[in-house]
Amino acid sequence: MKDFFKMMLASALGFIIASFIFSFISMLIMFAMMGSMMSSFGKQESFVLQNNSVLNLKFEGTIQERVAESDPFTELIGGVSSSVGLNDIIGAIRKAKNNDKIKGIYLDTRIFAASNATLAEIRQELEDFKESGKFIVAYSDNYMQNGYYLASVADKVAINPEGMLDIHGLASTPIFYKDALQKLGVEMQLFKVGTYKSFAEPYTQTEMSPANKEQVRSYINDIWAFVKNDMAKGRNMEPAQIDSIANQFPMLKKTDFLLAQNLVDTVVYETEMKNYLRELIGIESDAKIPSATISDMKSVKTQIIKKSTNSIALLYASGDIISGTGSSGIQDKYMVNEIEKLRQDNDIKAVVFRINSGGGSAYASEQIWKAISDLKEEKPVVVSMGDVAASGGYYIAANADKIVAQPTTVTGSIGIFGMFPNFSGTLDKLGIDTDVVKTNEFSDFGNISRAFNAQEAAMMQSYVDNGYDLFLTRCADGRGMPKDSLAKYAQGRVWTGNQAKEIGLVDELGGIDEAIRIAADLANLGKSYAVFEYPRMKSPFEEIFNKNKEELAAKALKSYLGESYNMFMFLKNIKDQDYIQARIPYDLNIN
């Protein structure tokens, strides 16, 4: 017994010492991280823009609407974020245009992901930059189609002698899971309104429906028309020439073909391109090229804008529309709260609602619609559509005073559906039986171990029909259109921004700037106003000290899953959210 107590005492003492050592090491790590962060802050603030500088626009990773500043945790679990904010890119180009120390832009497009609407926003900004008389030159080892779309605006386009240039057009290639689900014994029970509502097709069919093929063919052709027209304009070509080149698949051609087709101006190595750049800015051939990155430009000072009694709020809403709370997406309770704060802020005279969403929960969409309706009663609301504002994304936009979209924005898709899994086949395969005892007829409604019976299915379809009627009513009232007239353009059909303007779903074509200009006019602000972004982005300190386990897990998953992360989160949100959804396909698969 004496030895037992000795062992207990030794174990307890060892545990205390180990805990102290662990806590001490943890504190050292935290201080090291703090020091690293403070050091990184110091580096950012120490950047000084030099004379004869070049803005180095290097695109790689993913371009999103907004990206928070990285924190030490990001580096610990997944390295430096590969995402860049569209707002930071636009801000960098505008600062470069108005700063005499910057002589031009060096465009370096690599492998990166961005939608056509986002690319159009950047390209327009580059065209505006050229009006200053400053140069834009582009160089790449390999131009992907999205990168070449941006590069085509440059004064000179150069490529490496062994480089490649890709122009292939657009294609939609959905994947269908019906047969795979059947092998697992899973049946997806679908209730929907909308001939063109195609979200559930991958789970209930083995190929695209004729209606879906019709709408996809329509909108990808319209998007491609704008893309090829911009490319042709930038290179002094005819759009038909771009189609002809795409049909020859230039990615597998030699660079002399690219030269002959006027896709590039010169074939040089990067060292030679840098020498050409030195000539443009007038420095010695062996001198270091003064340059600034997108990140560097954040610390370049401009005139300080203070919030005034004439302010416009730019409110961002990106991701899936979800009910309740979560770590990502457009959460109805949070968004309603943000809208309500803007409604009560007397200094905010107008709101630009920037939407980038393919929809989600029909219930959550209705809550946000109501908040926008209340806001609209007191101050102008203008919607700026980003890459996509469709289904639930259009629901929350429909009641704005004005809607602005890019020609290549994906919108519409006015329709809803409900999808319920039936796992009875799976249970049969596993030899599992179920039984039920219930007090009322519908006590086990929604039981996934069996299919809906005829009465339940009829009730479910009626519920979806009522939801669609409400959706249609909200859009018709918001757009000031007769309900039966709008119904012709609904049925879940997807439209481009260009097509949506022609049928009255959108008022103007343009980007965020156009939406802000319209909002200022509606509020009678003239040109004397300031624009502030909402919701406020968290600082790196807040990211560290307010970080919860869900956010940490999300960052770790994003690091390891890469592009598959979005699909994972989509499936998670579907699992956690309402069965009745107003959304377009998770991924339009346009490439």
Closest by alpha carbon to 566, among 532, 541, 589?
A: 589
587 phi/psi in degrees, rounded to 5: -135, 120
The residue annotated as part of the active site, out of 97, 134, 192, 197, is 197
The residue annotated as part of the active site, out of 152, 391, 413, 424, is 391
Is 197 a known active-site residue? yes
Q: How many residues does the chain have?
A: 591
**Within 13 Å of residue 380, how many CA atoms lie on the same side as its CB?**
22
Write out the E strands in 133-267: 135-143, 156-165, 187-193, 266-267
Contact yes or no for 316/355 (Cβ under 8 A): no
Contact yes or no for 72/545 (Cβ under 8 A): no
- Measured CA to CA, the distance from residue 23 to residue 569 in angstroms comes to 34
**3-state secondary structure at position 179:** helix
Residue type (1 letter), 425:
G
Is 6 a known active-site residue? no
Contact yes or no for 381/375 (Cβ under 8 A): yes
Cα-Cα-Cα-Cα dihedral of 475, 479, 482, 486, to 10°? -60
β 53-64/291-292 pair status: parallel
**DSSP readout, 275-330?**
HHHHHHHT--TTSPPPEE-HHHHTTS--------SSEEEEEEEES-EESS--SSSE
Residues annotated as catalytic are 197, 391
